[in-house]
Structure 1
Amino acid sequence: MFNIGELNSSNNLLLDYLKNQSPETLATVAQSVSPEAQQIISQNIQNLLGILPPSNFNVSITTDRENLAGLIGSAMMTGYFIRQMETRMQLDQSLASIE
């Protein structure tokens, strides 16, 4: 993953919260994501970065902390949204099977 211990957490409650979580807790949360959601999030991040096919290009990306924080925040929001939609889909399917 990434080393959040090096990031400055002044006035960032989410970063403080993440720093206080054990690696086991973070691993458990990461493993609870469905393969479908992982694929969507991965594709989203690749689109944000503008990934070119590795067979034809040697891509190297550099950024600063602020832009990286923005990318991580975007990935987190995408993950949250995808998980909520996944839950909604499961609820819709459950309700449809009752009818």
Structure 2
Amino acid sequence: MLLQYLQHQPPEVLAQVAKSVSPEVKQIITHNVQGLLGMLPPEGFNIKITTDRENMAGLLVSAMMTGYFLRQMEQRMDMESLLGNSLPLKNE
């Protein structure tokens, strides 16, 4: 269902969501995707990756879910620093 939802979002909405992400979160996601695809130095290799639409969509969803999780944790960290103490988890 998430994949279908994402496929029906206009590019402007996705661009706006991407703008709200900090450089640290972008770096973590980039590192994560590079780890999934494999990382070879570009100066010594002509790298081409071939996949089908479903696998690419799965990779995109995985990266987006990682981004959403990291963004939530980033917001929690900011909230904790503003309040000066740790917020309890819901299960505590």
TM-score (structure 1 length as normaliser): 0.74
2-structure distance, mates of 1:30, 1:65: 22
Unaligned runs of 5+ in 1: 1-12
Maintained 8 Å contact 1:51/1:59: no
Q: Secondary structure at the match of 2:84?
A: helix
1:19 CA displacement:
3.9
1-structure distance, mates of 2:56, 2:4: 17
Q: 1:57 is matched with which residue: 20, 45, 63? A: 45
2-structure distance, mates of 1:64, 1:19: 16
Q: CA RMSD in A?
A: 1.7
Maintained 8 Å contact 2:29/2:67: yes
Q: Which one-letter code corresponds to 2:29 in the other structure? A: I
Summarize the alignment of residues 32-51 of structure 1 with structure 2, pairs less than 5 Å apart. Answer: 32-51=20-39
2-structure distance, mates of 1:73, 1:28: 17
Which residue is equivalent to 2:88?
none
2-structure distance, mates of 1:20, 1:65: 16
Q: What's the % identity of the aligned pairs? A: 64
Deviates more, 1:65-74 or 1:18-27: 18-27
Maintained 8 Å contact 1:37/1:82: yes
Unaligned runs of 5+ in 2: 86-92
1-structure distance, mates of 2:10, 2:56: 22
TM-score (structure 2 length as normaliser): 0.79
